[in-house]
Amino acid sequence: MREKITIDDLGKNNLAGYTELILQKTPRRTGAKKSYTVGAAKISPAIYLDDDTIPCYYLIQLGGGYIEGEYYENRLKLEEGSQAILTTQASSKIYKSENGIPSKQYTNLQLEKNSKLEFINDSVILYKDAVYEQSTDIYLEEGATLIYSDGITAGWSPDGKLFQYTSARIKTNLYLNGELIYLDNLKITPKDYEVQSFGILEGYKNFGTMVVIDERIDKELIKRLREETKNLNLDVKFGISLLEKNGFIVRVLGNLTQDIQKVINKVHTYLRKEFFEFEELDLRKY
């Protein structure tokens, strides 16, 4: 974790909001060992959805959206044996960049031995002329379980046209016991090429990603997941791909964010029963 950030640091590097959350396992439940925010960032009190031992925290941004040059940083850690659910309060809105200076978000996520985390991010909405960079570093130790999802929409513009943002870059590095096992570096620049073309978004408007890491993942589980999702009657295109070690990735393309979320929810619900013996997750946002 970084040295303590204070309100005086907000002017440096245009830091708009800083979040630090460390969770630990106690004899009764997982709880917050440290919960600290500065600027336009807050963490909700713990909410208990499945039972009274596993907390859910909402990561909240108070500014209403990212303006040009703003930088948000999240540092999140689960200590050994702890289990939690994290989610964003709502979609992140990225506003226009008149000078081409990107709005940025960096997340550092650490899962110690045998910890378990479900981290559900709402989709990013990019406004006309937005420039956005998102970087996520994830570090897992032996026995850790991670279910992580995020996505991007086609954006918003006053005239209703799609893909009017300038650029979006999403980079994710995932390390297992210090070894890089997954690197995803996606950059979309709509003014340089047709985003919906073959080989990019395949005619669709939006996309979502889910990454899952668990020592129990194997080819047989992937086979069952493909069987579970094959009859979804949705206007989407998606694939489930096994990683080299202990994990898989789901990519979903669709025109409706709700349809993309239904695919991800279907996989998530299956895994919750398989890994945790829990029912479908209801985050009660709407």
User: Cα separation of 231 and 85, whole Å?
Assistant: 28
Question: pLDDT at position 8, please?
Answer: 64
| pLDDT confidence tier of residue 141, bands split at 50, 70 and 90 | very high
Query: pLDDT tens digits for 75-93?
Result: 999 999 999 999 999 999 9
**Residue 21 to residue 36: CA distance in whole angstroms:** 6
The reported pTM is 0.93
CA 118 remoteness from chain centre: 10
Query: Taking residues 142-152, what's their average pLDDT?
Result: 97
The whole-number average pLDDT for the span 216-244 is 95
pLDDT of residue 211: 98
Q: In one letter, which amino acid is 279? A: E
Q: What is the 3-state secondary structure (H, E, C) of the chain?
A: CCCCCCHHHHHHHHEEEEEEEEEEECCCCEEEEEEEEEECEEECCCEECCCCCCEEEEEEECCCCECCCCEEEEEEEECCCCEEEEEECCCEEECCCCCCCCEEEEEEEEECCCCEEEEECCCEEEECCCEEEEEEEEEECCCCEEEEEEEECCCECCCCCCCCCCEEEEEEEEEECCEEEEEEEEEECCCCCCCCCCCCCCCCCEEEEEEEECCCCCHHHHHHHHHHHCCCCCCEEEEEEECCCCEEEEEEEECCHHHHHHHHHHHHHHHHHHHHCCCCCCCCCC
- 174-190, pLDDT tens digit by residue? 999 999 999 999 999 99
Residue 3's pLDDT is 58
Q: Is it the case that residue 157 has pLDDT exceeding 80? A: yes
Report the pLDDT value the prediction gives residue 125, as an integer from 0 to 100: 95
| Position 12 confidence tier, pLDDT thresholds 50, 70, 90 | low
- Mean of the pLDDT values across residues 119-123? 96
Measured distance CA(78)–CA(31) in Å, rounded: 10
| pLDDT tens per residue across span 186-209 | 999 998 888 887 667 888 999 999
Q: Note the pLDDT of residue 106.
A: 96
CA–CA gap between residue 214 and residue 221 (Å, rounded): 11
Q: CA-CA distance, 277 to 260, in Å (whole number)?
A: 24
252's tokens:
């979903």
Name which of 181, 201, 199 is nearest 241 in CA terms: 181
pLDDT at residue 17 above 70? yes
Please compute the mean of the pLDDT values over residues 214-222 and round it to a whole number: 96
pLDDT, tens only, 238-278: 999 999 999 999 999 999 999 999 999 999 999 999 999 99
- Name the band, by pLDDT with cuts 50, 70 and 90, for residue 220: very high
Is pLDDT at 13 greater than 70 in this prediction? no
Degrees, nearest 5: CA angle 118-124-126: 175
Q: Would you state the pLDDT for residue 191?
A: 85
pLDDT of residue 52: 85
Q: Between these two residues, 14 and 196, which has the higher pLDDT value?
A: 196
* Token duo for residue 150: 């995020």
